[in-house]
Structure 1
Amino acid sequence: MTTTVVRESRGTTDVRLPGAWGLGVRRGALELRQFFRQRDQVVFTFAFPVVFLFLFASIFSDDVEGAGVTASQLYVPAMMAAGIMSTSFQSLGVSIAIERDEKVLRRLRGTPMPPAAYFLGKIWLVLVTGLLETAILLLVGTTLYDVGLPSDAGRWFGLAWVFVLGMTACALLGIAISSVPKSGKSASSVVVLPFLVLQFISGVYISIGTIPDWMLNIGALFPLKWMCQGLRGVFLPESAQVLEQAGGWEFGRVALVLGAWCAGGLLLCLLTFRWKNRRDG
């Protein structure tokens, strides 16, 4: 990290301007303050997956034959994965598109602030909200639906790397898709539709065993399906592996696909991200 030093014309005192990391931390604090000041957004963000978990777990609560788990227990890790994607992909895709449309990005680009500081601020926002969302769903799942906490260090580590890789991949995809909407008003429709479709074909709302193979194959091209599978492997017993499309947790493949999406998402961001709308030139 390069630190800029400004020397006063009189005296010997040096004024050290903060670098990209320091500005990114301050930008992250600003993003968090702005987020938590919008109470309706806070309530919707954290309550949406919890409400859907309660609805689906209440409707489908029977034991799953041969798996040693209940249907409601299957929904907990799936909703955690959806919550992670909601606070990263959906949140960034919509908010950045709106900021671009309102020329916030254009004004920031004209300041001395390093571009990296803006993205670091978004990362802090996504990380904090994602951790809170996951903690809330984990609390609900362990309290109401008898989902056990990871029983050993290996599973805790599994939770950590699935969370980090999934959050990173979805955040990068959110930044990339933010360039697709033509205006801030259309951002929600453009971003929410693919996210909603992915939830249905990735095993969030519907059991893997009842989804046609061709839909599962499409869902397997994106991170959400693998996040769901990885988190099920962390929280569910080994007997539940029979419910997966391949009959196992496939942690190696989960890591490979999520890692590939991190690299691919970064490339998409570098190729597509813009600081101003197309109509602005």
Structure 2
Amino acid sequence: MTDIAQAVAPAAAPARMPSTLALGLARGAVETKMFFREKDAVVFTFSFPIILLVLFGSIFSGGLAGTGITFSQLYTAGLIGAGVMGAGFQSLGIGIAGDRDDGTLKRLAGTPMPRAAYFIGKVVNVLVIAFLEVAILLAIGVALYDLKLPGEVSGWLTFAWVFVLGVSASALLGVAASSLPRSAKSAAAVISMPFVVLQFISGVFIPFTQMPPWLINVASLFPLKWMCQGFRSVFLGDAGASLELAKSYELDRVALVLAAWLVGGLVLCLTTFRWKGRRDG
């Protein structure tokens, strides 16, 4: 009777797969653990902007005439923008190129895990890195260079949307740029070079008023210039607006340009991303 009952009993329903979001968050936890296990990568990622801030803050220790703002405060705001973009564009561009070269992407594409979960995991990792990097730079700016944190909710709201739009656009551009290097060995050079150039022409280290117009026009095409401008509006206040070309932070244009790069980055990802390396055919 037991055998007959087992034969006619309905088969157990197959276990349901977790949602794409749940898998992506789990993948994000794995990516973050892997990142923090690479001690040299952790040290370089967090120490590099700190070293630049201390160096430039020590070399250019004076103030900007008529503003009450020091060069160190200006560099802190700019390096926050560079740190956010570096966490998205540079880290993802190099990291995904490495995953493609060592076969990680190919193996993941052959598993039941939705492909979107891989990208969600990468974005979670980028958000963690960017948040920690910004927190460290803010702590140094406040402790060493008298950087003023926003005293009103509106200032923090501006910080939040500039951060979210900036890190999202940078992450998508990093995903798209990961297809440019021919191998993991060349990824650091291919991805890092344009990022370093952008930092020097986007107001991170050199105020816009000291650059030739053609470089200003080039920088204005890319998101880093607008991210730095948005962060300067938060941490330098009304006094810093006189340092901008338009004598205003133009936050409406900041939002528009970053949103445009968000859409453009998504289009680039969809049209250029490859799961296999060039050697895989």
Query: What is aligned with 1:40?
Result: 40
Corresponding residue number in structure 1 for 2:146: 146
Alignment of 1:207-226 (within 5 A): 207-226=207-226
Could you list the per-position Cα deviations for residues 205-258 of structure 1 after superposition, in whole angstroms to 9, with x for gaps in the alignment?
112221111101101100100011000000113122111122110000000000
SS at match of 2:205: coil
Contact (CA 8 Å) 1:100, 1:106: kept in 2 or not? yes
More displaced stretch, 162-171 vs 68-77: 68-77
Partner SS for 1:151: coil
Report the identity percentage. 55
Whole-Å Cα distance in 2 between the matches of residues 159 and 189 of structure 1? 31
1:61 aligns with 2:68: no
> CA separation in 2, counterparts of 1:238 and 1:17?
52
Q: How does 1:83-162 map to 2 (within 5 A)?
A: 83-162=83-162
State the 1:11 CA deviation: 5.3
Distance in 2 between residues matched to 1:200 and 1:174, nearest whole Å = 19
Instruction: Measure the CA separation in 2 of the matches of 1:63 and 1:227.
Output: 23
Q: Which amino acid aligns with 2:85?
A: M
Post-superposition offset of 1:17: 1.6
Number of residue equivalences: 273
Q: Deviations over 1:248-270 (max 9, x none)?
A: 10000000000000000000000
**Paired AA for residue 94 in structure 2:** V
Aligned partner of residue 181 in structure 1, secondary structure: coil
Match of 2:180 in 1: 180
The residue correspondences of 1:9-88 to structure 2 (distance < 5 A) are 12=12, 15-88=15-88
Structure 1, residues 59-115: CA drift from partner, whole Å, max 9, x if none?
111110122211111011100001111111000000000110111101110111100
Range with greater deviation from structure 2 (251-260 or 233-242): 233-242
Structure 1 stretches of 4+ with a deviation exceeding 3 A read 9-14
Matching residue of 1:258: 258
1:67 counterpart SS class = coil
Structure-1-length-normalised TM-score: 0.95
2:15 is paired with a residue whose SS is strand
Counterpart-to-counterpart distance in 1, 2:176 and 2:39: 27
1:143-178 deviations in Å (ceiling 9; x for gaps): 110011111111100000000000001000000000
Equivalent-residue separation in structure 2 for 1:150 and 1:84 (angstroms): 19
* In 2: Cα distance, 1:223 partner to 1:19 partner: 32
- Deviation, 1:19, is 1.8
Unpaired segments ≥5 residues, structure 1: 1-8
Identify the residue that residue 239 of structure 2 maps to in structure 1: 239
Q: Which residue of 2 aligns with 1:3?
A: none
Q: What's the offset of the Cα at 1:10?
A: 5.7
* Paired AA for residue 225 in structure 1: K
Assess if the C-alpha contact under 8 Å between 1:67 and 1:241 holds in 2.
no
1:15 is paired with a residue whose SS is: coil
**Matched residue SS, 1:274:** coil
Q: Secondary structure at the match of 1:35?
A: helix
> Take 1:214 and 1:80, find their aligned partners in 2: how far apart are those partners?
25
How far apart in 2 are the matches of 1:27 and 1:216? 40
Distance 1:13 1:242 in 2: 67
Correspondence for 1:195: 195
Q: CA RMSD in A?
A: 1.1
Is the 1:93–1:175 Cα contact (8 Å) retained in structure 2? yes
Unaligned 5+ segments in structure 2 are: 1-8
